[in-house]
Structure 1
C-alpha cells in the first residue's frame, strides 16, 4: 500500500481547425498518479474528465496520460483522447517549463489536435491563475493506493465452505451491447475438492440475450488471478471460451480501488461475504465472439470486481453504474443467510465516487446508518428496485429498472449445496438523484442512464 496523488485542473483557450475555423475549448481534468509527485523526477498520471469544443465536441469521457516532469525534462505533457460526433480525436501538447518565464511556461499549453494520427488543428490552452489557482491547490489529495494486481490474486487458502468470484461487466459504446464474464471458485462445505466454473453472457441492443457456461474444472492454485483450463481473469487481461463464445480482452484501469464494503472486511473475512472493485472504472479493448458475430471493443467502459465469502445472500440486489465524467456508483444490498440476520431488512452498502471523492466516507454509514440505524433502505424486486438513504448533509434516491426481455436468470450453487437464482441485466436503466441540505433539501446532481447500467437481483 502506497500514497498516490490526485488533483483537478481547468484550462480554456481556442483551437484553429484545418478548415480555418477558430473554436473555443475548455478542459476540466482529474489527474491520478500511483505515487506522490516527484518535483525533481518524472511522474506519470492517468487523466479523465470533460472536453468541450464549441460546435464540435462535448465529451465527459475524456481519458489520457499526463507526464509531469517540470525539472527533469522541463515539460508537462498532455495526451488526451475523446470522441467528437463519432470521430476519435487526440489532443497532444506540452507546457515547456523554463526559469526565465516560470508563470507563463507553467500555465500555457500549446497543442495539436489529431484524427487517426493526422493533424486537423492547432491551438493554445491557458490555466487562469486568478480564478483557478485556489481550487487547483485545494484539490490536491494524497490517498492510500492499493495494488490492483495484488487484489486480483486468489484469497482462498483451502478452507471448506468458501466461494470466490472474479467478474467483469462491460458496455460496448459502438453497439450498446452489454457483456458479463463470471469466474468462480467453489470449495464445497463437505470438504470435497474445490472446482472452478463460470459463464459468459452477451446482452445485445437488439436480439435475444445469450449465455454459455464453462466447467466445472479442477482448481489449480498459484496463478495471479482466476486460471482454469484456458479461461483466465487476471491483472490486465481476460481470455477464454464457453460454448460458442470466445473472448480476448485487455483491461486498463481508469479509477482507483473502490471498497464497497469496509476495507477491513476484505483483509479480515469476518462478514458472510465482501466485495471490492480493484479498479472502480476500467476500459477494455479486444474481441468477444458469439453466435451472432464478433464484437471489436475499443475503449469500452466497464469494471472488474471481486467477491469472497461463504456463499450467496438470502436476497440481494447489485448495481454498477458509470455515471460519466469519472463518477461511478456501486450498490450491494443483501439479506444474510445467517440465523438472526435473515429476518432483518436488507443491509445497504453504497459507494458514490463523485469528483474524485467517495460518499459516504465510510461504507459502514450506509450499512448501519449514522445518527440512526438503517438510514439506507432497499426495496428489492423486479423489474424495478430502489435504494434510498441519507448520510451527513446529503441524501440519495436510486431507481433501477431491469427490462424483463433483457434480464437473464441463472442458477447459483452455494458451497453447502443450496441454490439461488440471479436475475442479471447488463443493459439496465438507472435514475440517480442526489440532494444536499441547505436549510432545506435542494437538488445537487441528477444522472439518468438508459441501457448502460449493470444490475442484478438475487432470490431463493
Structure 2
C-alpha cells in the first residue's frame, strides 16, 4: 500500500572556519555550503535524522561539490547536533565528524560553533572548528527553509493487482576501476491471474572486456534487502548513501496515481555506494561510487524506449526516459520524452510534463540515439552512444505475456549541451561522459 505524503523539512546552511592537518604547522581555511533534507517536520523536542549534500572547500586540498552525509538534529533530547560528511580531497576519501553541544548557558554560541575532526580509513588526519557567521549567513539561512511534501519513495506499491509490474534497480560506476554495475529486481503479476513471479539480475560492465551477468529468482514480493544478494557466482553487499533530493522523471501525480501505462522516479537523484561485489574474476570494492537507484511501476514495458542517467558532477544530474506506449493507438505516436535536468539545485523543465508536452524529440536507435528539446529560454541536445562491445541484451516478460528486449550499457558515452536565450542562443553548459553514462534502449 502506498505511503501517504507527509511534510518534510529542507534548509541550507553555510559555515566557515579553519582546519589543521596532521604534520602541518598552519591552519587551512575551510568552508561548507550544505543542503539539509529531512523526511519529517523538524521539531526541537525530538531527534530528527536528515541527509547532507553540498560543497566542501579546504584551501589547497579540496573542492568537492559532491560531498554527502548525515545530520542528527537533537537539540533537546540529546543536546547535540551531529554532522557526518564524506568528501574527496586530492584523491583521498575523508570523513568529517562534528558535533554542536547544545547548552542552556550559552545557547547561541553552542548552536553556531562546530568542532570537528577529519579522518581517513578511521584514522584521524586533522581537526578544526567551523562557525556559522550570523551577520552574513543568517538571512539566507532563514530564507531557505521549506516544508515540502514527502513520501516514502522506497515503499512498495505492490498490492498483487493482476497486470502490474514493479521494478527496483540501481546503477553505478566505480571511479577507481571504471566498472559499471547494474542491479535489477522485478516483480510481476500476470494479467491472467496466475501466481506472481519475482526475479532479477546483476550485471558488470568492465572497461576492458564484455559485460557479464547472472540472473536469480526470488519469492514473490518486494526485495527484502535490495542491495544484498546472490546470483550464481556473484554476491553483493552494498550500502547506499542518498546524496540528492528525489527526482520525478514523470509527473509526481503519475507516481501517486497510476493512471499512465507506467511511471518512473528516483528516490534520490544521486547516491553513493560502498561495499563489495564478488564475481568470477575477483572482487570489486566500492568506496563512495556515484550512481542512483530508481523505481518503475506500471503495466509492463513500452513498445520502444530509451533511458539515460548521467551524473554530470558537482551534484548535477540528467535523467531521460523516451518511450512509445505499448497500448493500441498510443503505439502509433512518436516517442514521448520525459527529461529532467537537476542543475545547481534546480530542476529543468520546471514541470515534469513540460518535456512530454513541449517540443522535445527523440530518435531511438543503436549504437546511437538522441534527444533534443527547448523551452522559451533554454534548449538541450543529448547524444548517447552505446558501443556494441559495452552493451548487454536481456529479455523481459510483461504481465500480458508479451516479450521485450533491452540493450543496456552502464559504460555508455554521452554528450550534453545546454544553451540559453540571451538575444540569441548562447552556450550555458556542456558535458562529455566517456564510459560513465548509464543508458538503455528497448524494443519488441
- TM-score (norm: length of structure 2): 0.89
SS of the residue aligned with 1:280? coil
Residue of structure 1 equivalent to 2:373: 389
The correspondence of residues 306-325 of structure 1 with structure 2, limited to 5 A, is 306-325=295-314
Aligned counterpart for 1:53 among listed residues 52, 58, 62: 58
Structure 2 distance, partners of 1:46, 1:18, is: 28
Aligned counterpart for 1:299 among listed residues 278, 285, 288: 288
Structure 1 distance, partners of 2:369, 2:108, is: 53
Unpaired runs of 5+ residues, structure 2, are none
> Contact 1:273/1:309 (CA < 8 Å) preserved in 2?
yes
Residue of structure 2 equivalent to 1:178: 180
**Structure 1 residues 90 and 73 mapped into 2: Cα distance closer, same or farther (>3 Å)?**
same
Q: Within the alignment, does 1:417 sit opposite 2:397 as a pair?
A: no
Aligned counterpart for 2:147 among listed residues 138, 142, 145: 142
> Contact 1:48/1:325 (CA < 8 Å) preserved in 2?
no
> Contact 2:51/2:242 (CA < 8 Å) preserved in 1?
no
> Contact 2:238/2:274 (CA < 8 Å) preserved in 1?
yes
Residue of structure 2 equivalent to 1:277: 266
CA RMSD of aligned residues (A): 2.7
Deviation at 1:350, TM superposition (A): 1.5
Structure 1 distance, partners of 2:288, 2:299, is: 35
> Contact 1:319/1:453 (CA < 8 Å) preserved in 2?
yes
Residue of structure 2 equivalent to 1:195: 197
The correspondence of residues 29-428 of structure 1 with structure 2, limited to 5 A, is 29-70=34-75, 75-97=80-102, 105-150=110-155, 153-159=156-162, 161-215=163-217, 220=220, 223=221, 225=222, 233-234=223-224, 237-369=226-358, 375-391=359-375, 393-428=377-412
The more displaced of 436-445 and 37-46 is: 436-445
Deviation at 1:402, TM superposition (A): 1.9
Deviation at 1:280, TM superposition (A): 2.9
Unpaired runs of 5+ residues, structure 1, are 226-232, 370-374
> Contact 1:93/1:112 (CA < 8 Å) preserved in 2?
yes
Residue of structure 1 equivalent to 2:9: 5
Deviation at 1:335, TM superposition (A): 1.0
The correspondence of residues 19-34 of structure 1 with structure 2, limited to 5 A, is 19=23, 20-34=25-39
Deviation digits for residues 256-308 of structure 1 (CA, Å, limit 9, x no counterpart): 43221122223332212122223333333332221111212333332222222
Deviation at 1:392, TM superposition (A): 5.2
Residue of structure 2 equivalent to 1:459: 443
Deviation at 1:7, TM superposition (A): 1.7
Deviation at 1:138, TM superposition (A): 2.6
**Structure 1 residues 5 and 436 mapped into 2: Cα distance closer, same or farther (>3 Å)?**
farther
Deviation at 1:324, TM superposition (A): 3.0
SS of the residue aligned with 1:148? coil
Deviation at 1:398, TM superposition (A): 2.3
Q: How many residues align?
A: 439
Structure 2 distance, partners of 1:186, 1:101, is: 58
